[in-house]
């Protein structure tokens, strides 16, 4: 069964390397958008129990603004799931970020701010996926993004439920972005669908030969 | 409220006779609280999904398996099935423009109701659906549940 698939150290390293390039592209896109320097952490790539994934970010009751996107692969006429992308702004980071984008001092997020955050999610995932496409030789498309400000757990559970029917553990790619000179921090995650791991490993092996 | 608090995470259930059971940051997930007033025994299941049929993963993620297991545990501890009542919370659609996210919350609530109906357990309080997250604290001394949201007032049912 797909959920029982474990990767070797070599395979995980190769995926981490690919993910680091993707994260680099995303942080560049974020930097251009905010017109500020972005500090990006070295990405981690590991398996986690679905139920444990929110604790990588914080406590389930912490206030966040989360943007979600679904990623699908496209090969010839076939579409297949690649994973779930999450962009999570902690505490007031979403508000500080939109204020920075529009050079203003609003006190709370409104609908147009949420739209801007969705668009940011689109841009970051687009940049990341275009880098991954180089490695994987298949095109990827993103779904329409959704955004919500609420408790961490409640903004993540429907996304986790999508994967929870398929696997006990998911491969999680995670990095975080900080905007230089501002107290703005966001986490960028891709939760890989278990059915795509086989393809990922095969493509990476082909490239390394 | 009692100081003795126990957090029940996604895909878990707990049965106890004292203290407070909490389920925090529910979005599409549902917290199912069962209580026997006479015995002062109860439990919470924090479910993520509806029906388990055809899926080979942690069964406690699913409404049917988790409620089944929690009920067995309560009966083992001396509860009578027809003395049990239920309170259910969660099942929100956090992302109103995302169809799959919307369906998960609704499906969870519907699955929970179907299973409780099958066992003849009456739902005496409910705060489900909507577009916002919830946290619940279930006091086993009196069966009361406090429900808090980031948006809107805290209620006790």
Q: Are B39 and B79 in contact (CB under 8 A)?
A: yes
* Domains of chain B and CATH, by start: 5-156 (3.30.1330.200)
Tell me B82's DSSP state: G
- Please give, rounded to a whole number of angstroms, the shortest distance from the CA of A162 to a CA of chain B: 8
Sort out which chain B residues have CB atoms less than 8 A from A158's CB and list them. Answer: 27-28, 93-95, 98, 100-101, 104-105
Q: Are B145 and B33 in contact (CB under 8 A)?
A: yes
Pairing of strands A184-192, A78-90: antiparallel
CB-based contact, A168 to chain B, within 8 Å:
yes
Q: For residues B129 and A147, what is the distance between their CA atoms, to the nearest angstrom?
A: 17
Percent of chain A with pLDDT over 90: 63
**Which residue range is the domain that position A201 belongs to?**
2-208
The size of the A-B interface in CB pairs under 8 A is: 114
Sort out which chain A residues have CB atoms less than 8 A from B92's CB and list them. Answer: 154
Of A60, A157, A165, the CB nearest to B57: A165
* A152 backbone dihedrals φ, ψ, rounded to 5°: -50, -50
CB-based contact, B135 to chain A, within 8 Å:
yes
Q: For residues A72 and B52, what is the distance between their CA atoms, to the nearest angstrom?
A: 25
Helix axes B63-76, B99-118, angle to 10 degrees: 30
Residue corresponding to tokens 């699908």? A72
The beta strand positions in chain A, using DSSP E, are 38-40, 44-49, 63-75, 78-90, 139-142, 146-151, 169-179, 184-192
Could you give the number of structural domains in chain A? 1
Confidence check on the interface: ipTM exceeds 0.90, yes or no: yes
Residue A3 has pLDDT above 50, yes or no: no
Q: Would you place residue A19 in the very low, low, confident or very high pLDDT band (cuts 50, 70, 90)?
A: confident
Residue corresponding to tokens 């890989």? A192
Instruction: Report pTM.
Output: 0.93
Active site residues of B: 29
Ordered strands of the B155-156 beta sheet:
B5-7, B20-26, B134-139, B145-148, B155-156
Residues 6+ apart with CB under 8 A from A67: A86, A87, A88, A117, A118, A120, A121, A145, A146, A147
Q: Output the domain CATH number for residue A170.
A: 3.40.1550.10
Of B94, B100, B104, the CB nearest to A154: B94
A73-126 pLDDT, tens digit per residue, is 988 888 999 999 999 999 899 999 999 998 888 899 998 999 999 999 999 999
A37-87 pLDDT, tens digit per residue, is 999 988 899 999 999 999 999 999 999 999 999 999 988 888 999 999 999
Contact B25 A1 (CB under 8 A): no
Q: Are B41 and B56 in contact (CB under 8 A)?
A: no
Q: Which of B154, B148, B13, B26 is nearest to B90 (CA)?
A: B26
Q: For residues A37 and B142, what is the distance between their CA atoms, to the nearest angstrom?
A: 55
Contact B133 A155 (CB under 8 A): yes
Residue A82 CA: distances (Å) to CA of A155, A163, B10, B155: 20, 11, 24, 41
Tell me B62's DSSP state: B
Mean pLDDT score of chain A: 90
Q: Would you place residue B143 in the very low, low, confident or very high pLDDT band (cuts 50, 70, 90)?
A: very high
Of A59, A70, A150, the CB nearest to B132: A150
């Amino acid at each position: 069964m797909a959920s029982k698939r474990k990767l070797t150290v070599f395979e995980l390293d190769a995926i981490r390397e690919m993910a680091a390039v993707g994260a680099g592209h995303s942080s560049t896109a974020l930097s251009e958008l905010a017109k500020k320097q972005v500090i990006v952490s070295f990405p981690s790539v590991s398996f986690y129990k679905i139920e444990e994934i929110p604790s990588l970010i914080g406590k389930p009751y912490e206030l966040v603004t989360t943007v979600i996107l679904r990623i699908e692969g496209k090969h010839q006429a076939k579409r297949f799931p690649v994973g779930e992308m999450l962009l999570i702004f902690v505490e007031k980071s979403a508000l500080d970020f939109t204020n920075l984008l529009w050079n203003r001092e609003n006190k709370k997020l409104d609908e147009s701010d949420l739209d801007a955050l969705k668009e940011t999610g689109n841009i970051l995932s687009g940049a990341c996926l275009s880098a991954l496409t180089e490695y994987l030789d298949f095109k990827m498309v993103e779904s329409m993004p959704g955004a919500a400000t609420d408790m961490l757990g409640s903004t993540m559970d429907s996304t986790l439920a999508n994967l929870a029917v398929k696997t006990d553990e998911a491969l999680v790619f995670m990095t975080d972005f900080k905007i230089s000179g501002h107290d703005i921090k966001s986490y960028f995650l891709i939760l890989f669908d278990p059915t795509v791991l086989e393809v990922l490993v095969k493509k990476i092996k082909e490239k390394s030969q | 409220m009692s100081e003795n608090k126990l957090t029940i995470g996604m895909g878990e259930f707990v049965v106890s006779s004292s203290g407070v059971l909490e389920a925090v940051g529910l979005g599409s997930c549902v917290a199912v609280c069962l209580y026997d007033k006479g015995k002062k025994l109860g439990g919470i299941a924090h479910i993520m999904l509806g029906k388990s049929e055809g899926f080979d993963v942690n069964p406690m993620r699913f409404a049917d398996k988790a409620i089944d297991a929690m009920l067995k545990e309560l009966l083992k501890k001396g509860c009578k099935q027809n003395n049990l009542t239920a309170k259910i919370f969660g099942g929100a659609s956090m992302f109103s423009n995302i169809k799959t996210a919307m369906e998960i919350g609704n499906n969870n609530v519907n699955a929970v109701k179907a299973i409780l109906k099958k066992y003849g357990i009456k739902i005496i309080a409910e705060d489900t659906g909507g577009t916002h997250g919830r946290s619940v604290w279930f006091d086993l001394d009196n069966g009361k549940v406090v429900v808090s949201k980031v948006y809107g007032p805290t209620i006790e049912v």
